[in-house]
Amino acid sequence: MDKFKVDQELIAKIDRILESYDYDDNSVVNILLEIQSHIPENYIPEEVAKYVGIELGIPTSKVYDVITFFSAINDKPKGRHVVQLCKSSVCRLNKYQTIRDVLEEELKIKMGETTKDGQFTLQYSTCFGACDISPAFRIDDKVYGNLTKGKIKEIINTYRGL
């Protein structure tokens, strides 16, 4: 795997984000979400957590608490696009397994894994309120429901840039 650089560009982005929140330590949850969206591996590395803690005056242990508590903030690297398949009660009634099988086939990985090129992570999630179009999955911020095998292929391809 390539080594990624946390370079001046990323620090500048982080500083801009902190600035836009007025360095308000109360906004650390939203700040971390926004920083995470600028990191290709979709997570908060340790050094970034320390830096944010120092800039906001929050002990690193508390920043770590926030990172590990919330499901949307990741403490370990993921793919560029995170595909989240709902496995909660409604989607189970509506047979999420059919969607899972198509996704696993299409991406050639199993649930919980990341593609070798670092593009996609496939994982389960809890209910995200798309029960009326269940079974459903999310890719990054977008929600997809009322699916067919063909539609799923199409959706994945748009993220592949095809």
CB of 112 to other proteins, least distance (A): 5
CA 119 to chain CA mean position, Å:
12
Return all residues near 24 (Cβ < 8 A) that are at least 6 apart: 56
Characterize 67-77 residue by residue with b for buried, 16 or more Cβ atoms within 10 angstroms of its Cβ, and e for exposed: beeeeebbeeb
What is the smallest separation between the CB atom of 32 and other proteins, expressed in angstroms? 8
Which residues pair with residue 122 across a beta bridge? 83
Measured from the CB of residue 128, what is the shortest distance to other proteins in angstroms? 4
Q: Within a 10 A sphere around the Cβ of 34, how many other Cβ atoms?
A: 17
* Token pair in block for residue 132: 């009326």
Min CB(102)–other proteins separation in Å: 17
DSSP 21: T
Q: How far is the CB of 50 from other proteins (least distance, A)?
A: 6
| Three-state secondary structure call for residue 89 | helix
